[in-house]
Amino acid sequence: MMKNLKMLILTFVIAALLALSGCIGNDADSGITENSAVVPDSMMSSTPSVSGTVVETMNSAGYTYVKIDTG
């Protein structure tokens, strides 16, 4: 009985160490680089714009929906 308990505790400790080691990382090696998009002026002028007063906003699932009064 005691041998099974020691084996169970050892298994949990090893699993916890493996899980935590996956959370610790070096940010420089993550491969994520900051990229700022550059939009050419020709594309900016061809994009229609909308202006108005924000009447209502709704945040849902990581998005923000905006109701705009254009009149």
Give the model confidence (pLDDT) of 7-41 as tens digits.
999 999 999 888 888 777 655 555 556 666 776 76
At 14, give phi and psi (nearest 5°). -65, -45
Report whether 68 contacts 53 (CB < 8 A).
yes
Report whether 49 contacts 68 (CB < 8 A).
no
User: What is the C-alpha separation between 44 and 66, in angstroms, rounded?
Assistant: 22
Grade residue 2 by pLDDT with cuts at 50, 70 and 90: confident
Kind plus residue range of the DSSP H or E element containing 44: helix 41-46
